[in-house]
Amino acid sequence: MTTSSTSPPDPPPPSSNDSTTAKIIQHNKPESVLASTTLAKTLTISDQHATILLTSPPPPVTTTSSAEEANKGKESDAIIPKETRSILKLTLVPFHKTALAFVPKDNSTNPASTDADAAKKESDEKKMGDEKKEKEHSDNVVKFLSQFDFKMTSESGAEYSFHEAFLKTDNEEEDDYAPKTKRYKATVFTTDTKEGEDSIGEGNATSPPTAAPAKWSSFKVELISPASDRQVARAMPSPGLSMITETPALYQSITKPFVEGIVSSGSLSWLENVVEGRKEKERLLHDAPDWILNIDTKWRTHPDAFATPRSEWYQHESTVDLYCLGIIKSKNVASLRDLRADHLPTLRDMLEVGPKVIQSIYGIAKDQLRVFVHYQPQFYHFHVHFTRLENDVGCQVEKAHLLADIIQNLELDSEYYAKRTLVYKLSLKDKLYKIMSVACVKDDEKKEEAEKEEAKDVVEDAKTETSG
């Protein structure tokens, strides 16, 4: 996909002015989000993970106007959002899957009715049936999740927060979210369990357990609230993928304005909190002058950073899933495209020191680590991934670039990544892909018009030669 057309970047969010300030209450507690949820939908699910989209009415908004405007009775110009969407990412055990799985819509096609009224009635009935299934699924998800207490383990100071979920006990006493070893009351909606039944124990061989010991029932939760359109789009099941051939010209005309729009919108404030040490201090492994090394949130099996002493992290069984993140402190490098020879000292330090820190804390040797960079990245502030070789998440050839190769390329040419054509994949739902697609269509239309004009010129020249 190649084009020279331009496209405006994402507009920044609306800002408040001196006379009117809209204060939107942001939730960082799953209980608060669930209490206001009007629709819950499981987007993706496996035996280990689930991603759930929660939709709520507009959050409470309070506006403060100047006394003069108040006296004049002017209405506030505050922009009130239509709805709030939140994303829950859960690390589960298999028996939770039954409660959270979404029954897909019936997409079967019946023979077309010759009667238009009858066909419309069938279509309306099918739509109502689908809506009923969605509502039942939503109710089941909310009821299931409402059986848990949530203990916050970390938060970024923005829309991201992390929690541990524990089954509530039969008694109603405050337990400070501590897991219990007594009898549990949990309702899971299956064909073998009626709503409201008590289910005790581990279940049997023919049906999934509906309750379990605390260590099985607890799970980790990542909450994004409120979630932006881009975050929701990333969480949605992908409709397909496309390979992109990004020339330097395409980067300058399309990708760079797109990236600059995201960076300037202020959506990376959560990352600034992490880099500057205001948030997620418990996940910090190393703090260098130009970069930091953190435990990546994708390492969901990592021992609790608050409850487990670091001495017990060494050779911990969870290191098979090792995933750490090196983040540079400079705000001027959004992605691989921005790297120059000036950045080599920092990159070399990350490649040399990062594995040493990981080995000292986790006991994993350097030759067991994969150190790489994504393009396109998940967020536009340059960062480096450190994973164990057994963990192949995100290391596909159309996405990952080894840090050792990046360093060598910059040693050969400081402008290497400014000049190079980069090939990568994008989801068809990705906004960047959609912008590129529109630009390509326009480019193709211009090309077609140019070819038509050229054909006309050839015909005219032929006529002239014939008449001559």
> In the annotation, is 27 catalytic?
no
Question: CA-to-CA distance for 189 and 139, rounded, in angstroms?
Answer: 10
Q: Which of 316, 383, 385, 401 is catalytic?
A: 383
Q: Would you please indicate which residues are annotated as catalytic (active-site) residues?
A: 383
